[in-house]
Structure formats: structure tokens, C-alpha cells
């Protein structure tokens, strides 16, 4: 697509894809932000980039933040974007395209995003100047629709921000995104006047988890013990490796992709199966493997004296013998 007209034609042709009534089901949609950018242009009579510069970036002293290639390339101290291609990180370029400006095209620094955060933590003001009217900010923070529940209870989507009702007893607002060659995540707790911004010059960055870990620490928590996902991650990491039964008669691998373990025969032709924990606690190592409509139980055991790990699946006991073997490189 080469223009906003092309994009509108594309979007309008998707009427048959409407799946549910408005506010009945949540789908995050980058195209909605692209449409919002066009609405801002239509209402203001200004280009989206000019509007943002005039009403957001300048008032917040975000002097280096930009959507434009020419402004970005004027900077000596600028990021190099990287893309992940077949698990290999390669140097790339940021997609300077007006169609993604509103959906995630802003390039900014941690220092200047701090100013943006300050606006939210100071009720819409920055250094005494009003950026957002109090009623506008209040509306922006109101839940519009409940989204699939996260690890901290009920979560909602507001106007451009996610809302978590019970992040260690606090209300947490977040927003994040990726262009595949860069990423960012913003999180703040208004009541405590705490905020974090995480940025990366590659797409696959766990910004949300990093931000939550920092905020948990600021709230006096131990992230590795108190944050459910980090606790689970620590639990799973120690189980990854190569296993074999008595005398090496049978061999299996326990892999980890994202935050899910997989049970796999080392034979490349054999499928892998997810191994799901019953709880995220480090006191219980009982897991299950989905088999059709049933849950087939399995279990890991860690010897309290030696630290040796065993895996019990069906009628076989496997013992961890070491890390996973490196993958064979494909021949060119």
C-alpha cells in the first residue's frame, strides 16, 4: 500500500471480517491507530506528524523524538535497528512509512519518554504546563472493555492503555509495541508516582516483563520470587536439557519456547508435545501433557541433596544428563 487512500480501501473491503458486535470481544488492531491518525488529520487540518510535534512533542520538550527519516539521520547518537531472521539477529533499517506513524512510528529516547511518563504521573501536566485536560486524562484511563485475564487478575483496555487492577495491590497502566526492528514498553502506577520505559533496537524484547520486574522491586517485592511469570520462568529454565533413561536406552529432550516446556524425542522426525505445569510455584513439579481431550500426568523430581533432576513420563524415568545439544547447521 502506497497511500492512506490505499489503506482505507483495504480496510473498507474487510466488512465481511467483522466477527462480533462492538465492545463484545477484544482484538488489538494496529489499523485502528492508523485510522485514528487519519481522523486527527481530518479534524485538525494538520499533518499527523505536525499535530504531534505542536501539541505533544514540543510541550513535553521531546526535541529529538521524531517520525521522520531526515530528522533521525541528523542525529549522530542514534540507534541501529536489528531484525531477527531465522533466529539470527541482523542489522536492518527502521520502516519510515507514514502509514505506520500513528500505529507505532515514533522514534524516541528513554530520556524523552521520561517526560511523557511525567505527564501521566502529574495529572496531565509537565513542568506546570497543562498538556492534557484533567477530564481528557480521566477518560483516557477509563476501561472500555475487559481483555483476557492476565497473571494479576482482571485486565482492561482503556483509550490506548491497558489497565491491570491488582499489580501487587496497585493499579497499573501499560502500553507496548514493536515494529519488528525496534520495540518499547511503558508502564506506570499513578498512585505511587512510579513509571518505567523499556526500549530496544530489536523487535523481540520482553519489555513488559522487564518493566514489571522493575516496578515490583520499587514496591518492595522480589521479582524472581513474587512475580508469577518470572517465578515460573526460573522454575522451567532449570528443567531444560537432555535426558536419558537407565543405561541410555531411551532419550528425550526438554525444550523451552517462550514460557512453555516441550517434550521431544531427539529424532528430528518426531513431534514435540507441550509440558504444562499445574502451578507456577517451585514447590510443585507436577506437569501434564495434552492428549486429545485428556491431561496425561508427568512429573519432574529434584533431589534435595544432589540437585539431580529426573523426569517421570508414563512408565519411564529419565535423568537429566546435561544441556541440550547444539542444533546441526543446515547445509547451504
> What local confidence, expressed as pLDDT, does residue 331 receive?
53
Confidence of residue 27 (pLDDT cuts 50, 70, 90): confident
Alpha-carbon Rg for the chain in angstroms: 24
pLDDT (tens digit per residue) in 116-173: 999 999 999 999 999 999 999 999 999 999 998 788 989 999 999 999 999 999 999 9
CATH 3.40.50.360 fits 234-322, yes or no: no
Band of residue 1 on the pLDDT scale cut at 50, 70, 90: low
> How many C-beta neighbours within 10 Å does residue 214 have?
17
Do the domains at 4-226 and 234-322 have one common CATH topology? no
Residues 64-107 have pLDDT tens digits of 999 999 999 999 999 999 998 888 899 999 999 998 999 999 99
Bridge partners of residue 159, in order along the sequence: none
Give the DSSP letter of residue 2.
Answer: -
Q: Can you give the pLDDT at residue 329?
A: 57
User: What cell does 125 get?
Assistant: 501536566
Rounded Cα–Cα distance for residues 110 and 99 (Å):
24
Query: Is residue 308 within 8 Å of 302, Cβ to Cβ?
Result: yes
Q: How far, in Å, CA of 2 to CA of 132, rounded?
A: 33
In CATH terms, the superfamily for domain 4-226 is DD-peptidase/beta-lactamase superfamily (3.40.710.10)
Q: How many CA atoms lie within 13 A of 94 on its CB side?
A: 26
How does pLDDT run across 228-261, given as a tens digit for each residue?
Answer: 999 989 889 999 999 999 999 999 999 999 889 9
Please work out, in degrees rounded to the nearest 5, the angle formed at the alpha carbon of residue 147 by the alpha carbons of 143 and 150.
110
User: Alpha-carbon distance 137 to 328, whole Å?
Assistant: 54
Question: Which tens digit of pLDDT belongs to each residue from 262-273?
Answer: 999 887 677 889
* Residue ranges in the chain assigned as alpha helix (H): 4-12, 30-44, 48-52, 69-74, 101-104, 110-121, 134-140, 207-218, 223-226, 228-237
Q: Hey, where are the domains in the chain?
A: 4-226, 234-322
Reported as a single tens digit per residue, the pLDDT across 264-311 is 988 767 788 999 998 877 778 999 999 888 999 999 999 999 999 999
DSSP code for 247: G
Q: Which of 130, 211, 141 is nearest to 176 (CA)?
A: 211
Amino acid at each position: 500500500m502506497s497511500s492512506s487512500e490505499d489503506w482505507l480501501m483495504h480496510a473498507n473491503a474487510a466488512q465481511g471480517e467483522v466477527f462480533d458486535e462492538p465492545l463484545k470481544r477484544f482484538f488489538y488492531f494496529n489499523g485502528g491507530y492508523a485510522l485514528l491518525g487519519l481522523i486527527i488529520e481530518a479534524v485538525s487540518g494538520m499533518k499527523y506528524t505536525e499535530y504531534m510535534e505542536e501539541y505533544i512533542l514540543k510541550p513535553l520538550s521531546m526535541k529529538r523524538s521524531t517520525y521522520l527519516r531526515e530528522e533521525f539521520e541528523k542525529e549522530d547518537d542514534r540507534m541501529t535497528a536489528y531484525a531477527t531472521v531465522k533466529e539470527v539477529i541482523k542489522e536492518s533499517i527502521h520502516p519510515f512509512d507514514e502509514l505506520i506513524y500513528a500505529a507505532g512510528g515514533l522514534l524516541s529516547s528513554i530520556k524523552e519518554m521520561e517526560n511523557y511518563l511525567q505527564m501521566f504521573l502529574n495529572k496531565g501536566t509537565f513542568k506546570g504546563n497543562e498538556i492534557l485536560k484533567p477530564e481528557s486524562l480521566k477518560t483516557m484511563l477509563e476501561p472500555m472493555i475487559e481483555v483476557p485475564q492476565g497473571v494479576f487478575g482482571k485486565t482492561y483496555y482503556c483509550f490506548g492503555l491497558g489497565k491491570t487492577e491488582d499489580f501487587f495491590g496497585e493499579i497499573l497502566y501499560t502500553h507496548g509495541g514493536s515494529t519488528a526492528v525496534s520495540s518499547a514498553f511503558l508502564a506506570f502506577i499513578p498512585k505511587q508516582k512510579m513509571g518505567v520505559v523499556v526500549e530496544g533496537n530489536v523487535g523481540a524484547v520482553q519489555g513488559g516483563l522487564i518493566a514489571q520486574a522493575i516496578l515490583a522491586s520499587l514496591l518492595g517485592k522480589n521479582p524472581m520470587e513474587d512475580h508469577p511469570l518470572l517465578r515460573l520462568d526460573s522454575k522451567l529454565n532449570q528443567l531444560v536439557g537432555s535426558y536419558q533413561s537407565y543405561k541410555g536406552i531411551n532419550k528425550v529432550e526438554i525444550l523451552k519456547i517462550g514460557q512453555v516446556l516441550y517434550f521431544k524425542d531427539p529424532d528430528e522426525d518426531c513431534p514435540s508435545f507441550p509440558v504444562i505445569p499445574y502451578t507456577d510455584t517451585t514447590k510443585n513439579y507436577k506437569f501434564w501433557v495434552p492428549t486429545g481431550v485428556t491431561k496425561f500426568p508427568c512429573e519432574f523430581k529434584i533431589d534435595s541433596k544432589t540437585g539431580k533432576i529426573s523426569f517421570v513420563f508414563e512408565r519411564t524415568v529419565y535423568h537429566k544428563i546435561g544441556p541440550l545439544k547444539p542444533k546441526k547447521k543446515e547445509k547451504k
